[in-house]
Amino acid sequence: MGLSNVTRMIVGPIETNCFFLENKESHEVAIIDPGESGEEIYGRIKRQGMHLTAVLLTHGHFDHITGIAALLSAAAQDGKADVPVYAAETEERLLKDVSLNGSDGMGRGGVTAKADRLLKDGEVFSLAGFSIRCIHTPGHTEGSCCYYVESEGLLFSGDTLFEGSVGRTDFPTGSMRVLLSSIKGKLFKLPDETRVLTGHGGDTTIGDEKRYNPFLSGDAI
């Protein structure tokens, strides 16, 4: 891809993919879904000479947000006290509610997060030298979203779309009908060659999921 260098760190008890979207020229980096190990994430940023510019959340489940506080604290101690957190505007309720985001049973008293920037569906914003579009994809949660970097052919799909599967919908605010509609009506309109970086597991492409995903392929579309 052009300017992007994308790496991942697998974090937390559910092996969540935390992504580093780095601009190869400026070394600015956006972190997508710091689900655990915030200090380790920031340590990697420092060791590799990157500069943290923002945190992007695909949704508010505990396994995607638990590392935010430690990450921002480490950044603040390093003189970067104003790192913004982005999320879809429809996920604000779940981010703040431990009974909805699944953290109330984790033995830590629950985890919440605050988004500094609440994004509308289709909103395009600039970050780390990239133009990024927020695509609301409710279904896994009511405020789930994906981040599309058109210039790089990248989609960060969170727990909406997986390689050969889709996100669970048996959690609060989930709906399988709504999830499938989000994927077919929005994500499948992206170019087939778009690389999909998922919240858990391996990468895939939009084209492969159209053809082979048993939830979505063939007559299911």
Nearest to 41 by CA among 12, 2, 1: 12
**What is the value of pTM for the model shown?**
0.96
- pLDDT tens, residue order, the chain (221 aa): 589 999 999 999 999 999 999 999 999 999 999 999 999 999 999 999 999 999 999 999 999 999 999 999 999 999 999 999 999 999 999 999 999 999 997 666 799 999 999 999 999 999 999 999 999 999 999 999 999 999 999 999 999 999 999 999 999 999 999 999 999 999 999 999 999 999 999 999 999 999 999 999 754 44
Q: Return d(Cα 53, Cα 80) in angstroms, integer.
A: 9
Q: Return d(Cα 181, Cα 119) in angstroms, integer.
A: 20
Residue range of the domain that includes 162: 4-220
The beta strand positions in the chain, using DSSP E, are 4-11, 16-23, 28-32, 51-56, 85-88, 117-119, 124-127, 130-136, 145-149, 154-158, 161-162, 165-166, 195-198, 204-205
Q: What's the domain count of the chain?
A: 1
Judge contact between 188 and 210, C-beta under 8 A.
yes
Say which CATH number the domain at 215 has: 3.60.15.10
Maximum alpha-carbon separation in the chain:
54
